[in-house]
Structure 1
Amino acid sequence: MPHVIDQAVHARLIATVPRSRKVPARLRYDSQDPLAVHVVFPPVASLDGAEVGWTFARDLLADGLREPSGQGDVHIWPCGPDHTMLEFHTADGLAMVQFPARDLRRFLMRSYGVVPLGAEARHLDVEGDLAALLREA
């Protein structure tokens, strides 16, 4: 049975123009996609008025809470004892968003309650995903 965690959080969008501001966000974890976490920013948080979502490895979030981590589109690192920075890269530029570290840790621990660390493979439906991929082809 699939299990989803959907946690509302507040973050701070780091910017010079317009100035930094608090933004709402949602952290999401789905046991049917056990290796990934999702961060979703509602339209009010984006410059173009569209919802923005990012998906990245749950392990990246765990690593980034302890030390600078990531390559490519998503980078995560501790920012003092109370905050964690998430940096998202696109072809148009980048966004830096500061989250309370306690909110990210709480979300991560909740995800481990659904799918324990190291047990992700037991929750993957490789055959079903492959069948769906072949149907699309």
Structure 2
Amino acid sequence: MHATAEETVQARLILSAHRSVRLRVTLTYLPDDPLAVRMGFPAEFSLDDPADGGPESEDIVWVFARRLLAAGLEVPSGIGDVHVRPALGRRTLIELRAPEGTAMVQFDTADLRRFLWRSRLLVPEGEEHLHLDADRALAQLLG
């Protein structure tokens, strides 16, 4: 069994300039998918309509590049659906864009740095290619 880096942290979902709510976010890094990180949010924060027949109790999971998370701690980074940037007071802001809407989530930068450090203990930065299984990835794509 392979080790994983997993950490549950507190974050703030920004609702407006003057309102936010606390939520727990589960950060996960899997050496079998060495280029990616996962952020799991509680299902009650989903923008999906429960009447659409989707599962109501599953966390919402966003998967994006570990390199994007690391870069965004220092300078604004990202194109497309995920943007990461430093914010005031040792915070990091992650913007998640979906067809249903945009979510702004604020994290303590120290929590994200600790998670990245733990992921690098499993797969050092620059050695991700040593952990890629091209045959398995191709099979999953064609699956």
Q: Please give the TM-score of this superposition, normalised by the length of structure 1.
A: 0.90
Distance 1:124 1:68 in 2: 28
Distance 1:116 1:93 in 2: 34
Aligned to 1:117: 125
Between 1:16-25 and 1:110-119, the stretch displaced more is: 16-25
* Superposed displacement of residue 80, structure 1: 2.1
* Superposed displacement of residue 17, structure 1: 9.7
Q: Determine if contact 1:88/1:96 at 8 Å carries over to the other structure.
A: yes
Aligned to 1:99: 107
Aligned to 2:98: 90
* Superposed displacement of residue 81, structure 1: 4.2
Aligned to 2:53: none
Aligned to 2:78: 70
Aligned to 1:8: 8
Instruction: State the identity %.
Output: 48
Q: Which runs of 5+ in 2 are unaligned?
A: 51-55
* Superposed displacement of residue 132, structure 1: 4.5
Q: Determine if contact 1:24/1:45 at 8 Å carries over to the other structure.
A: no
Distance 1:27 1:116 in 2: 17
Q: Determine if contact 2:31/2:123 at 8 Å carries over to the other structure.
A: yes
* Superposed displacement of residue 131, structure 1: 3.8
Q: Determine if contact 2:47/2:101 at 8 Å carries over to the other structure.
A: no
* Superposed displacement of residue 44, structure 1: 3.6
Q: Secondary structure at the match of 1:117?
A: coil
Q: Which runs of 5+ in 1 are unaligned?
A: none
Q: Please give the TM-score of this superposition, normalised by the length of structure 2.
A: 0.86
Distance 2:96 2:83 in 1: 7
Aligned length: 135
Distance 2:94 2:68 in 1: 11
How has the CA–CA distance of structure 1 residues 90 and 34 changed in structure 2, closer, same or farther, with 3 Å as cutoff?
A: same
How has the CA–CA distance of structure 1 residues 132 and 67 changed in structure 2, closer, same or farther, with 3 Å as cutoff?
A: closer
Residue 29 (structure 1) aligned with residue 29 (structure 2): yes
Distance 1:54 1:131 in 2: 22
Q: RMSD value over aligned CA atoms?
A: 2.0
